[in-house]
Amino acid sequence: TLDRRLKQVVDFIPKGSVVADIGSDHAYVPCYLVQQGIVNRAIAGEVNRGPMEAAKAQVALIGATEQIDVRLGDGLAVLEADEATCISICGMGGSLIRSILESGRDKLGAVERLVLQPNVDGQHVREWLLDAGFVLIAESIVEENDKVYEILVGERGTETRYSSDETERAWQLMFGPYLLETRPEAFKLKWGREADKLDYVLGQMAEGAQTEALIQKQEEFKTLRDKMREV
Ligand code: SAM
């Protein structure tokens, strides 16, 4: 069985995909998908030998060595050009997810769906999707063990979700256009905490010498904090 976070992730993987789970660690995602008969072909990519060995052991344990290939390598480099139809990248920072996708653009030819779970900096992932010609088709957010995780799902197509107004679009990229509308409890928890962090920073800043630059930065942070409290 999977934890709540990874359960959300697998729920977004289309049946019958050839799925590549990058940074797979124990290969829990590919193993679950194969065991449940959701996919019959998967690749688990790992850049580190320890987690790669753990993935191999897990795959052997469930008797899925024929269906799941465990490969050692950096990001999408473990894939052939048109091999995967769905890629999942979970449990990393948004900027790492973004750089893995960006360096592996040539491996996205057959990819119909991306399921991405940034631990932080989801904004970077949304920006990349937008730039790379993917539509954000769904977002989800889960709380588990007092941590909050976002799951972002992209598909090829024409993006219409984002506002043409620049300020509005910037907020949508930061908070997520769907989450901003549905405002789940975990979402409010996440941004409430971020606002608390900014309050702390603002408290520190208030004690410094009030230079022009510092005053301006504080105004910026206050706007951001107020927005975080508002959502
Ligand atoms: N995806 C699993 C999950 O969500 O539970 C494991 C997450 S674990 C925190 C992150 C994993 O990504 C680590 O096992 C690490 O070795 C791997 N990783 C980090 N950078 C990577 C890269 N560039 N390519 C492949 N794997 C990477």
- pLDDT tens per residue across span 96-145: 999 999 999 999 999 999 999 999 999 999 999 999 999 999 999 999 99
Check whether residue 100 and residue 203 sit in a common domain.
no
Residue 182 lies in a domain: no
Which SS3 state, helix, strand or coil, does residue 102 take? helix
- Looking at ligand 1, which atom is closest to the CA of residue 5? 4
Residue among 20, 128, 116, 16 at smallest CA distance from 69: 20
Cβ 135 vs Cβ 126: under 8 Å: no
**Cα 141 to averaged position of ligand 1 atoms, centre (Å):** 20
Indicate the pTM of the whole model. 0.96
Check whether residue 88 and residue 146 sit in a common domain.
yes
139 close to ligand 1 (CB < 6 Angstrom): no
Check whether residue 56 and residue 91 sit in a common domain.
yes
Domain that holds residue 209: 187-230
Q: What pLDDT shows up at residue 170? A: 97
Check whether residue 47 and residue 113 sit in a common domain.
yes
pLDDT tens digit sequence for 165-214? 999 999 999 999 999 999 999 999 999 999 999 999 999 999 999 999 99
The DSSP-derived string for 23-90 is T-TTTHHHHHHHHTTS-SEEEEEESSHHHHHHHHHHHHHTT-TTTEEEEESSGGGGS-TT--SEEEEE
Check whether residue 205 and residue 151 sit in a common domain.
no
Q: What pLDDT shows up at residue 164? A: 96
Please tell me the residue having the least CA distance from ligand 1 atom 5: 91
Interatomic CA distance for residues 103 and 126, integer angstroms:
16
Residue 43 lies in a domain: yes
34 close to ligand 1 (CB < 6 Angstrom): no
Domain edge (last residue) among 144, 161, 178: 161
Answer yes or no: is pLDDT of 1 > 90.
no
Question: Which position has the token pair 């030819």?
Answer: 109
Check whether residue 39 and residue 143 sit in a common domain.
yes
ipTM: 0.99
